[in-house]
Copies of this chain bind each other. A is one copy, B any other.
Amino acid sequence: MADSISVVQVGLGALGRLLAKHLVERPNIRVVGAVDTDPALVGRDLGEVAGLARKLGVEICDDVSVVCANGRVSVAVQTTTSDLAAVKPQIEALISYGMNIVSSCEELSYPRQTAPAASEEIDRLAREAGVSVLATGVNPGFLMDLLPIVLTAICAEVRKITVLRYQDARPRRLPFQRKIGAGLTLEEFAEKKAGGTLRHVGLTESMHMIAGRLGWSLDRTEDIIEPVVAQRHLSSDSLTVEPGRASGVYQRGIGYVNGEEKIRLEFRACLGEEDVQDTVIIDGEPPLTFTNPGGVNGDIATCAILTNAVRSVLAAPPGLRTMADIAPPSWFSG
């Protein structure tokens, strides 16, 4: 691990700025470029935009071809959007510049079932270019897919997998609190849900990753979204929620095999959640219940896994990879 890995960051929204701090603090990673199309960011120093105390000597540029063309970069870490259709041309451009890619795009985490044509095309381009592409995060990417998959390694039989991720959104960044609908009236919540903008993206991808790895053929999946209704006045640093309004979201992904519920992923994120936990329950032989009673802070964990995956995409075989088919990323030191 003596040599450092040269990385370019693509996308400097809320997640990208948080991620910049993680990347520059790693002894083995060197951030050599940063890309964003926001005119308010272009030309500014990455350190300044990311809220670091110092300049990094990395100027934000709006042209990815310039940043990647210097031949020094081996991995692009892309944090732009959850939407695969929007991300696909960005990924293809990065592949064409010979970049290995770590992406936060939830819909790219396991797109074989949900977007087979895009999945195959990205895979083909990556193989031809000899690079590997991996989309990951804490969820999808870890808590609700890789972790239960890994735990089944010690099971002789698996009848059903349940994952509970119940989190208190108060310590999370404001875009996350907004994303889960905290503070909305129930009517607003219903409207946003109908418009497709209020949801945690990735439960379906996680279910397909589990099923794909375990050899289950899902005949259908459900993704049920409901508000958590505040019973009392709640507040975070960023917003307040009156009783009767939504304090967050309770979302359930359910996967069926031959009509039987085999996968249940419960994602509940709201201000003031009291039953905080990350728990994997395997109804199997032996039965397993692994629980982290304190829960996992998703902002830190997402930045951490994107950073840790930088090493993994360099070691992975070319193509569109998933968390389930590579040697698992881990933290690594200098």
Contacts and interface: CB of A to CB of B under 8 A. Distances in A.
How many identical chains are in the complex?
2
Contact of A331 (B147, B158, B328, B333): B158
Contact of A286 (B1, B156, B297): B297
A125 interface: no
B293 A288 contact: no
A308 interface: yes
Given A155-B304, A156-B22, A324-B327, A215 B150 contact: no
A296 interface: yes
Interface string A144-161: 001101111111111000
A326 interface: yes
A291 interface: yes
B156 A146 contact: no
Nearest to A322: B327
Contacts of A324: 327-328, 330
B1 A215 contact: yes
Nearest to A289: B292
A176 interface: no
Contacts of A28: 215
A244 interface: no
Nearest to A304: B156
A327 B326 contact: yes
Say which size band chain A's interface belongs to: 35 or more
A307 interface: yes
A272 B285 CA distance: 22
Contacts of A308: 152-155
A147 B288 CA distance: 14
B333 A215 contact: yes
A209 to B, nearest CB: 11
A90 to B, nearest CB: 24
A224 interface: no
B214 A150 contact: no
A325 interface: yes
Given A154-B138, A289-B293, A330 B300 contact: no
Nearest to A1: B215
A213 interface: yes
Interface in A33-77: none
A227 B149 CA distance: 36
Interface in A287-334: 287-294, 296-297, 300-301, 303-305, 307-309, 324-334
A155 B294 CA distance: 15
Nearest to A302: B154
Contact of A214 (B138, B154, B331): B331
Interface of A: 1, 22, 25, 28, 138, 142-143, 146-147, 149-158, 213-216, 284-294, 296-297, 300-301, 303-305, 307-309, 324-334
10 closest Cβ pairs, A-B complex: A154-B301, A152-B331, A156-B304, A215-B333, A153-B329, A215-B332, A152-B330, A150-B328, A155-B331, A1-B215
